[in-house]
Structure 1
Amino acid sequence: MRDYRVKTIDSLSRGLEVLRVLQDVRAASLHDLHLATGIPKPTLTRILHTAHQHGLVWQRMVDGAFLPSHTLQRRVEADGGEWLVEIASPVLGELSQRVQWPSIISVPRLDHMETLETNSSRTYFDGLPPRPHGFRVNMLGSASGRAYLAFCPEQELEAVLARLRLKKDPAYQLAQDDAAVRRMIESTRRRGYGVRAPDFGGDHDRPRSEADDGRESIAMPVLVDDRVVGCINLTWRREVLSLPTAVRRHLDDLRAAVRTVEERARAAGLGHG
């Protein structure tokens, strides 16, 4: 570049430094950014707000971390789930305004589902503790895991089941019964959404008789180019709503949210990464 005899723009330099740090670390809290850059937090807040307004950064609801927008990336990194969460996060925020029970988005990770985002902090019924980012969800017992298994491609399903059959823990016992697995998959496909296994209480390894979070859930797959890129659930307290009542009241809202995420993901090219 030519040696222009002009002053640099300090505010722009600080903003670019923040974006560089975010690209390096992928996710950071306001305090993390303050430590990494030395920029005062009020100034950082203004930088991040401005960058967000221009679509350069976004903030995850589950832990408040800031992440670089996919517009700063060279290509879609679908396997990591960041694109999906960036697209789905505002949709979950909108869903929480219509349905006061929390939702979670999770993605498949070989033999379990991983929680990436939740709108729990924005729901009225905040007595349900949020699932943290990175929480491991049982594939065979959870509504999200069952929705994934029922709607993923057959070859992918067989590969996942083969991995699950190798595990000897009680949490994976269902994988040993191929007929039972097929019944679960067919019933989930007929409904169009997943429900929890009767003995699943939210814990990855222990049955409901040993660990019960008091919740019930339904979940639907996010499909892009016939591939399940993640699942969105709706969860509530069993003592407040029965499963049929929750489905009657809120399934359409959940379905609309999933369709919106799918449309935005396709528009962003998520299915082609």
Structure 2
Amino acid sequence: MADDKYFMMRSLEKALFVIETMAIKSNWTLKALNEKCSIPKGTLQRILRTLEELGYVRQLERGGAYTLTLKFHKLGKQIASQSDMGVTLNPILSALRDKVNETINLSVLSGLNMVVVHQVGSDHALQMDSVIGTSFPAYLSASGKVFLAFLPEEELRRFIKELRHSDFSITTEIINSIYKEIECIREQGIGFDFEELYKGVRCVAAPVFDDTGKIIATISCSVPTVRLDRYFSQKLLYEIPNAAAEASKMFHAPDISFSFDIDAAVGQLVE
């Protein structure tokens, strides 16, 4: 429609044009960028200052040239990995589903939530009714707790800060509980939720790492409590971490070893 452009945000359009222009070469003086973009100098300075505050642009020295940061590379890598991740890991996820006959989810962190980016369903009539794109609070879910546990400390602190600002019911006691669980997950390499997210459903999750040792996803299995017994819980606790480790190898992740008391973990799941 002819009126479609009415809905465009001109300031955003200008900012993206500046970014695309800056990507042509490594650094730009304000004068050269101003001439290339043909954007009023004051507007251009505000765009650059905003991008600098957000970490997408840095000034090489006070009053000097501007350059894009590797934050764009990080975003591109995340987008690419998420787009291809489900296809790449589908054989591993399908094999895991065949072993446990429960729905398997591959999830990533997005803001304060985990998002399901790939799923392999079970043949049970009673199963989790979720689809690709489903999101849920990270701090309540096994997948989210695992993802948070392996975030760099600065990113974890930022998450906690945003969580408290977004929900005033998040008390210091809840934050302390999150940190306590995170410490256990870092040692054990697995995370749980015990009906915190969905009544009557418990979940086990494990991390997937990339070639730099950074967490990029979680593999999880949510099971109705009526199907959880000691034998099946033990099977989940063996197969899910193994599948996650195999997935990490697909991304050439460094060897990361964990250890946990499987009998104690089984006791937690079936109590």
TM-score range, shorter chain: 0.5 to 0.7
Corresponding position of 2:217: 230
Aligned counterparts of 1:237 and 1:254: Cα–Cα separation in 2: 16
Corresponding position of 1:147: 146
**1:158–1:260 distance in 2 versus 1, CA, 3 Å:** same
Q: TM-score, normalised by structure 2?
A: 0.59
Secondary structure of the residue that 2:126 maps to in structure 1? coil
Q: Structure 1 residue 201 and structure 2 residue 201: aligned?
A: no
Secondary structure of the residue that 2:127 maps to in structure 1? coil
Corresponding position of 1:89: 90
Aligned counterparts of 2:153 and 2:182: Cα–Cα separation in 1: 11
Secondary structure of the residue that 1:131 maps to in structure 2? coil
Larger radius of gyration between Structure 1 and Structure 2: 2
**1:240–1:266 distance in 2 versus 1, CA, 3 Å:** same
CA-atom RMSD in angstroms: 2.4
Aligned counterparts of 1:91 and 1:98: Cα–Cα separation in 2: 11
> How many percent identity over aligned positions?
20
Q: Which amino acid aligns with 2:115?
A: E
The number of equivalent residue pairs is 177
Secondary structure of the residue that 1:166 maps to in structure 2? helix
**Gap regions ≥5 residues in structure 2:** 1-74, 254-271
Corresponding position of 1:102: 103
Corresponding position of 1:135: 134
1:201 offset after TM fit, Å?
A: 3.3
Deviations 1:129-172 (A, max 9, x none): 441111112111100001111122212211211111111264xx
Corresponding position of 1:18: none
Aligned counterparts of 1:179 and 1:77: Cα–Cα separation in 2: 32
1:261 to 239, 243, 247: 247
Deviations 1:174-230 (A, max 9, x none): 57744222212112223321111x46133xxxxxxxxx2x21101011111221101
Q: Is the 8 A contact 1:76 1:83 kept in 2?
A: no
**1:240–1:169 distance in 2 versus 1, CA, 3 Å:** farther
- Structure 1 window deviating more from structure 2 (136-145 vs 251-260): it is 251-260
Secondary structure of the residue that 1:128 maps to in structure 2? coil
Q: Which amino acid aligns with 1:193?
A: I
Deviations 1:241-264 (A, max 9, x none): 14x554412222112211221111
**1:139–1:181 distance in 2 versus 1, CA, 3 Å:** same
